Amino acid sequence: MDIFSYKGNVKKISFDKLLNLIEKKVNMYFVEDKRVRMKTFAIVIELIQNIYHHGSSHLNEDSEIPISFSIQKTDDNVFALKASNILENSKIEWLKNKLDQINSLSKAGLDKVYLERLMYTKLNEKEGAGLGFLYIRRKTGNTIQYSFTRLNELISEFEVVISFK
Protein backbone atom coordinates (compact mmCIF):
# COMPACT_ATOMS: atom_id res chain seq x y z
CA MET A 1 0.00 0.00 0.00
CA ASP A 2 1.37 3.38 -1.00
CA ILE A 3 1.11 5.92 1.83
CA PHE A 4 3.07 8.69 0.13
CA SER A 5 4.92 8.98 -3.14
CA TYR A 6 6.75 11.82 -4.86
CA LYS A 7 8.95 11.84 -7.93
CA GLY A 8 10.10 15.05 -9.49
CA ASN A 9 12.26 18.07 -9.05
CA VAL A 10 12.54 20.08 -5.86
CA LYS A 11 14.33 23.39 -5.46
CA LYS A 12 16.80 23.48 -2.60
CA ILE A 13 14.83 26.27 -0.99
CA SER A 14 11.53 24.31 -1.00
CA PHE A 15 12.54 21.18 0.95
CA ASP A 16 10.60 22.45 3.95
CA LYS A 17 7.41 22.41 1.84
CA LEU A 18 8.06 18.78 0.92
CA LEU A 19 8.62 17.92 4.59
CA ASN A 20 5.35 19.62 5.55
CA LEU A 21 3.47 17.64 2.90
CA ILE A 22 5.02 14.36 4.06
CA GLU A 23 4.29 15.21 7.70
CA LYS A 24 0.59 15.76 6.90
CA LYS A 25 0.36 12.41 5.09
CA VAL A 26 2.18 10.58 7.91
CA ASN A 27 -0.07 12.18 10.55
CA MET A 28 -3.22 11.29 8.59
CA TYR A 29 -2.17 7.69 8.06
CA PHE A 30 -0.80 6.97 11.54
CA VAL A 31 -3.51 8.68 13.59
CA GLU A 32 -3.79 5.78 16.04
CA ASP A 33 -0.13 4.78 16.41
CA LYS A 34 1.94 7.68 17.70
CA ARG A 35 5.08 5.53 18.10
CA VAL A 36 5.13 4.51 14.43
CA ARG A 37 4.20 8.05 13.36
CA MET A 38 7.10 9.55 15.31
CA LYS A 39 9.58 6.92 14.09
CA THR A 40 8.47 7.34 10.48
CA PHE A 41 8.75 11.11 10.49
CA ALA A 42 12.13 11.06 12.28
CA ILE A 43 13.49 8.79 9.55
CA VAL A 44 11.88 10.93 6.84
CA ILE A 45 13.64 14.01 8.21
CA GLU A 46 17.02 12.24 8.19
CA LEU A 47 16.54 11.02 4.61
CA ILE A 48 15.44 14.43 3.35
CA GLN A 49 18.37 16.11 5.12
CA ASN A 50 20.75 13.64 3.45
CA ILE A 51 19.28 14.49 0.06
CA TYR A 52 19.50 18.21 0.77
CA HIS A 53 23.07 18.18 2.07
CA HIS A 54 24.70 15.49 -0.03
CA GLY A 55 22.61 15.07 -3.14
CA SER A 56 22.77 18.68 -4.12
CA SER A 57 26.14 19.99 -2.99
CA HIS A 58 27.07 21.18 -6.45
CA LEU A 59 23.83 23.14 -6.98
CA ASN A 60 22.79 26.65 -6.02
CA GLU A 61 19.63 27.61 -4.10
CA ASP A 62 17.50 28.01 -7.25
CA SER A 63 18.56 24.73 -8.85
CA GLU A 64 16.05 21.92 -9.10
CA ILE A 65 17.07 18.58 -7.61
CA PRO A 66 15.60 15.41 -9.09
CA ILE A 67 14.43 13.14 -6.25
CA SER A 68 11.99 10.38 -5.53
CA PHE A 69 10.57 9.52 -2.16
CA SER A 70 7.96 7.02 -1.04
CA ILE A 71 6.48 5.45 2.06
CA GLN A 72 4.90 2.04 1.64
CA LYS A 73 3.32 -0.53 3.93
CA THR A 74 3.23 -4.26 3.26
CA ASP A 75 0.50 -6.66 4.32
CA ASP A 76 2.62 -7.84 7.27
CA ASN A 77 2.90 -4.28 8.69
CA VAL A 78 6.44 -3.62 7.47
CA PHE A 79 7.04 -0.05 6.40
CA ALA A 80 9.52 0.81 3.66
CA LEU A 81 10.81 4.31 3.11
CA LYS A 82 12.56 4.73 -0.23
CA ALA A 83 14.50 7.78 -1.30
CA SER A 84 16.68 8.46 -4.28
CA ASN A 85 18.68 11.38 -5.49
CA ILE A 86 21.56 12.29 -7.74
CA LEU A 87 25.04 11.89 -6.28
CA GLU A 88 28.42 12.83 -7.69
CA ASN A 89 30.38 9.71 -8.68
CA SER A 90 33.37 10.96 -6.70
CA LYS A 91 31.35 10.46 -3.48
CA ILE A 92 30.17 6.90 -4.14
CA GLU A 93 33.12 5.01 -2.64
CA TRP A 94 33.09 7.16 0.52
CA LEU A 95 29.31 6.67 1.00
CA LYS A 96 29.46 2.95 0.23
CA ASN A 97 32.21 2.46 2.83
CA LYS A 98 30.26 4.50 5.39
CA LEU A 99 27.04 2.52 4.87
CA ASP A 100 28.84 -0.83 4.88
CA GLN A 101 30.55 0.10 8.14
CA ILE A 102 27.25 1.17 9.73
CA ASN A 103 25.53 -2.01 8.50
CA SER A 104 28.28 -4.19 9.99
CA LEU A 105 27.90 -2.83 13.53
CA SER A 106 26.12 -4.68 16.32
CA LYS A 107 23.55 -2.85 18.43
CA ALA A 108 26.22 -2.14 21.07
CA GLY A 109 28.63 -0.99 18.36
CA LEU A 110 26.01 1.34 16.88
CA ASP A 111 25.31 2.86 20.28
CA LYS A 112 29.02 3.33 20.97
CA VAL A 113 29.81 4.98 17.61
CA TYR A 114 26.68 7.14 17.80
CA LEU A 115 27.52 8.44 21.28
CA GLU A 116 31.17 9.03 20.34
CA ARG A 117 30.17 11.08 17.30
CA LEU A 118 27.59 12.95 19.32
CA MET A 119 30.09 13.84 22.02
CA TYR A 120 33.34 14.35 20.09
CA THR A 121 32.46 15.49 16.57
CA LYS A 122 32.23 19.19 15.85
CA LEU A 123 29.04 20.08 14.05
CA ASN A 124 29.51 21.09 10.46
CA GLU A 125 26.72 23.28 9.08
CA LYS A 126 26.70 21.36 5.80
CA GLU A 127 27.12 17.81 7.07
CA GLY A 128 26.09 17.87 10.74
CA ALA A 129 27.97 15.35 12.86
CA GLY A 130 27.51 12.46 10.42
CA LEU A 131 24.78 10.90 12.56
CA GLY A 132 21.96 10.51 10.01
CA PHE A 133 22.41 6.91 8.85
CA LEU A 134 23.63 5.84 12.30
CA TYR A 135 20.43 7.31 13.76
CA ILE A 136 18.27 5.54 11.16
CA ARG A 137 19.95 2.18 11.74
CA ARG A 138 19.59 2.54 15.53
CA LYS A 139 15.95 3.62 15.21
CA THR A 140 14.91 0.73 12.93
CA GLY A 141 17.24 -2.04 14.08
CA ASN A 142 17.64 -3.07 10.43
CA THR A 143 20.45 -2.74 7.93
CA ILE A 144 20.24 0.03 5.37
CA GLN A 145 19.66 -1.22 1.84
CA TYR A 146 21.17 0.91 -0.88
CA SER A 147 22.22 0.94 -4.52
CA PHE A 148 23.97 3.19 -7.02
CA THR A 149 22.99 3.44 -10.70
CA ARG A 150 25.55 5.19 -12.86
CA LEU A 151 23.91 7.82 -15.09
CA ASN A 152 27.05 9.20 -16.74
CA GLU A 153 30.73 9.86 -15.98
CA LEU A 154 29.89 12.55 -13.41
CA ILE A 155 26.74 11.46 -11.57
CA SER A 156 24.80 8.42 -10.39
CA GLU A 157 21.43 7.82 -8.81
CA PHE A 158 21.68 6.81 -5.14
CA GLU A 159 18.71 4.87 -3.75
CA VAL A 160 18.24 3.95 -0.11
CA VAL A 161 15.52 1.74 1.39
CA ILE A 162 14.76 1.77 5.10
CA SER A 163 12.46 -0.96 6.44
CA PHE A 164 10.92 -1.27 9.89
CA LYS A 165 7.84 -2.40 11.83
Give the confidence band of 147 by pLDDT, cuts at 50, 70, 90. Answer: very high
Give percent of the chain with pLDDT exceeding 90.
41
Topology of domain 2-164, per CATH? Heat Shock Protein 90 (3.30.565)
Per-residue pLDDT tens for 33-81? Answer: 788 888 888 898 888 888 777 665 555 666 777 889 999 988 888 899 9
Does residue 105 sit in helix, strand or coil? coil
Which pTM value belongs to this model?
0.84
How many residues would you count in the chain? 165
Burial 130-158 (b: 16+ CB within 10 A, else e): ebbbbbbbbbbeeebebebeeeeeebbbb
Enumerate the domain spans of the chain: 2-164
Burial 31-61 (b: 16+ CB within 10 A, else e): eeeeebbebbbebbebbbebbbebbbeeeee
